Structure 1
């Protein structure tokens, strides 16, 4: 093929991909907004005309404005007001979408039971609305509360007796964002300090926004106390929000930013390698020097010592297995955050939450996350501050 034709074909391919992407997103949005509209407004409810018209207009406006607000709120400039509206809308419409499907099943059951129209449709509408309202109110309370403490003992065969009982506290996915959660952040700090940790680890997704925007919310991290180390690695959301600036800011708050590096902690004559790697999306972010590099992270480490690895995503556990890591700690999944989104998370991640074993040596602990992303709701996926007690 002549060079000119090859060059000309690239814009056409890019345009084709863009059109395909837009069509997929459009279809998803039509389903998300259309199913609740059909169940609650149209279908066989036989609402008075003003109700039908008003409901249809509201649904259509939400469908059109949602992507605009989402882009304005979560684009490069992180405008907080449109982000708040878009995030809340996403949470509400997801819950309504899920339970509207259940409502359609309920309608079929009522039809089989001999319940006539429009009564069966209105019963389903009432049930869907009531369940969604209860779940959203409860989910909001769950998202905004200081997380409960989740405790687990982790036995590491190579751990020396001097480190038996070491208290490792994991926080992750704080996602400081458009809702000001400085008070919540102070509550998290108090809860962590009450656990008297030896090591505190933050496995990324600190914030949605630049350091300058989220400085006040992140400030209480400076007051977290640990007898041996406070360590941090980047998550995927740092690469939307100035990853290197967050690495530097965490260092200024007194945290060791494990940017593909490690440190060694020692207690009572026994030592533990504490290493960290960048998020797996780092290489494609365009941020110079950022990529997940297990070799660099463990370079120079004594191979006889046990290794604790911080990596944002559970999907990075393959690298941990290949490099003989004893325990990887991760976040990212949020435990699905709003049921039943966890089924989609499992398409991308090997584990949703909790302790799991991979290969002969490596264990993985995956946190549900300390905060939340986007929609300020947590439904059947509670947040957590994790206390891992390491056992020899």
Structure 2
């Protein structure tokens, strides 16, 4: 025996447990910090090497300035992200953090490609002593051009993408139903109230029967983004305007956004459905909460397809709105006719689309899943975070529903 009385051991145990918990939290925090530093180093090393250090032979002041700028970004970026997207929600800090992250991502991508090109040219003994400098200049020029063009694409009113979707169970009275899809407007730190008004005008010009917002309205609370979201209240439709939550609503008062959309005249499909009719035929418009909702801690928030379809006539075709494409296995199992989703942004900044594909079954467009279910994945109407879209243009989608089988979805 060690001489410690049972009472002393019992009294010491809570303190020992607390100390152990504190040590685990410190280790966890250190691991997260190490991962963050590693990611930032991986993002910054290729631009630093390709543009400044890899044999380009720039004068020392140029090398020093490039090194200081990249090192300064690495140090400041975590603090800007916390200030911009943490409890303080400083829009100015968020704008700087998000924009700089987009710049670094593009520089990283094209610096890696430039480095590969440099190695290939060296293997063929092409370019001589000035090759590295030429590669650095080309990488910088391509990156700057893509960032300028990508910013224009992100800030412009999206082009309209038109597509006929054949729904075999759709009755003839609803043949030609025009469904306009918005998704991922992401009203945020950059004030886009004017852009939002122009999007609403573009939607109204399409003379929609049904308008769908497939989630991720904003980054922030309804109060913060009230002016930017206000134009959604001017959107018109003949039969219905429906909305479901996206994952970003669960970082900014999801129930508040459901209430805000109802205030603006939209029908929030919070695990429920509405039925629209024309010419004696009916279409069920159902919606489910985002798949992340069950982890939000909000009572009654989770993706509940059975609840959304409760009371619907099983003979009627169903258009399901679910924010993330990866909900489609549940939709297919339930015999849904058409699922409409967003979330992916089409990748937003190439080649991020390849990473999105790891998490989602589809990145964009119309696809078929099982015998009955089709999925349309929008590239999104706005943008998230970095105000750039590179090889992933935004869209307002006009789906014209056709009765009958038609051509198979790809």
Asked whether the 8 Å contact 1:149–1:386 carries over to 2, the reply is: yes
Shift in CA distance, 369/54, structure 1 to aligned 2, threshold 3 Å: same
1:369 to 365, 373, 380: 380
Counterparts of 1:242-257 in structure 2 under 5 Å?
242-257=253-268
Per-residue CA deviation, residues 33-57 of structure 1 (Å, 9 max, x unaligned), is: 1210111111212222222222111
User: What CA distance in whole angstroms lies between the structure 2 residues aligned with 1:118 and 1:49?
Assistant: 18
Q: What is the correspondence of 1:205-354 to structure 2 with a 5 Å cutoff?
A: 205-354=216-365
Shift of 1:223: 0.4
State the number of aligned residues.
Answer: 391
* Residue aligning to 2:408: none
Which structure 2 residues correspond to residues 28-43 of structure 1 after superposition, within 5 A?
28-43=39-54
Task: Determine the structure 1 residue equivalent to 2:107.
Answer: 96
Partner residue in 2 for 1:85: 96
- Unpaired segments ≥5 residues, structure 2: 1-9, 404-410
The C-alpha deviation readout for 1:339-383, integer Å capped at 9, x for no partner, is 000010000000000001111111100000000001111000000
Decide which of 358, 374, 389 is 2:400's aligned counterpart. 389
Query: C-alpha distance in 1, partners of 2:141/2:252?
Result: 38
Tell me what 1:26 maps to: 37
Give secondary structure in 1 for the equivalent of 2:225: helix
Q: Note the 1:1-150 alignment, pairs <5 A.
A: 12-115=23-126, 118-150=129-161
For normalisation by structure 1, the TM-score amounts to 0.96
**Residue number in structure 2 paired with 1:157:** 168
Q: Distance in 1 between matches of 2:312 and 2:36?
A: 46
Distance 2:131 2:312 in 1: 67
Aligned 8 A contact 1:263 1:273 in 2: yes
**Greater Cα offset, 376-385 or 18-27:** 18-27
Post-superposition CA distance 1:189-223 (Å, at most 9, x none): 11111110000000100001111111111100000
In 2, are the aligned partners of 1:44 and 1:117 still within 8 Å (CA)? no
Query: Does the Cα contact within 8 Å between 1:275 and 1:309 map onto a contact in 2?
Result: yes
Measure how far apart 1:10 and its partner are.
5.2
| Residues 292, 10 of structure 1: alpha-carbon distance in 2 compared, 3 angstrom cutoff | farther
**Shift in alpha-carbon separation, 1:12–1:270, aligned structure 2, 3 A:** farther
Is the 1:162–1:270 Cα contact (8 Å) retained in structure 2?
yes
Deviation of 1:137 (Å): 0.6
How many angstroms does 1:6 deviate by?
A: 7.4
Stretch moving more, 47-56 or 256-265:
47-56
- Can you list the C-alpha shifts for 1:1-58, whole angstroms capped at 9, x where unaligned? x996877655555444433333222211111112101111112122222222221111
Q: Secondary structure at the match of 2:400?
A: strand
Give the match's secondary structure for 1:324.
coil
State the distance in 1 between where 2:72 and 2:297 align.
36
Aligned equivalent of 2:184, options 173, 176, 186? 173
RMSD: 1.6
Provide the rounded CA distance (Å) in 2 between the counterparts of 1:147 and 1:78. Answer: 27
Check conservation: 1:167, 1:388, Cα contact below 8 A: yes
Given the superposition, is the C-alpha separation of residues 377 and 56 from structure 1 closer, same or farther in structure 2, using an over 3 Å criterion?
same
Question: In 2 relative to 1, CA 48–13 (structure 1 residues): closer, same or farther, beyond 3 Å?
Answer: same
Specify whether residues 385 and 105 from structure 1 end up closer, same or farther in structure 2 by C-alpha distance, changes over 3 A only: same
Larger-gyration structure (1/2): 2
Distance 2:200 2:33 in 1: 42
1:151 & 1:302 partners in 2: Cα distance? 29
Residues 1:116 and 1:320: Cα distance change in structure 2 (over 3 Å):
closer
